[in-house]
Amino acid sequence: LISPELTKVQKKRALVVSKEVLFASQKSAVEGVQKIISQFQSIARLQETVGLALPLKENTTQALNQLEAISRNSQANISSFDIEPLALSSSKEAIVKRLGSLGFSLSVQGSYEAIKDFMRFLETNVRLTNVQYFHFVAGASNKGQDFYDLNLKAEMFYQEE
């Protein structure tokens, strides 16, 4: 009388154990997939961040807009500006993109604080910039304020597409 019911209970226990094992393996597979997805998302964020500092093409308009915003925020006036694309650097590794740069020369005028802010904003700008040369001289006094001239030569970098 108990024997047939015991067999049914054992079969149901075996079924429960097999379903628990299946659930645990599926749960670990889902966790593994979620981990891979989060890694890809962090790689995408990293690529986006690097893309801001080193865009995938010259994007001269963006460079000009950034310099104009730096000038506006620092209250320094750009009096002359010259820009030219420079040659791409060579890369020995096939998977590494070559770096290109936009060379620019500009003259900036303003108060000492405005010139100092201009250089600070250029240094902390999101796009990677290398100042190669600058010459800072006192300009003419205007309306009781001291004005200075800054002649600057620098390059902004980008990645080859």
Mean pLDDT of 10-16: 89
Q: How many CB atoms lie within 10 A of CB 126?
A: 11
> Which residue shows structure tokens 């620098």?
154
34-86 pLDDT per residue, tens: 888 888 777 777 777 777 788 888 888 888 999 999 999 999 999 999 988 88
Residue 142's contacts (CB-CB under 8 Å, 6 or more residues apart) are none
- Contact call for residues 157 and 130 (beta carbons, < 8 A): yes
The one-letter code for the residue type at 114 is A
If phi > 0 it is left, if psi is from -120 to 50 it is alpha, else beta; for residue 143 that is left
Mean pLDDT check: name the lowest of 47-51, 76-80, 97-101, 141-145.
Answer: 141-145
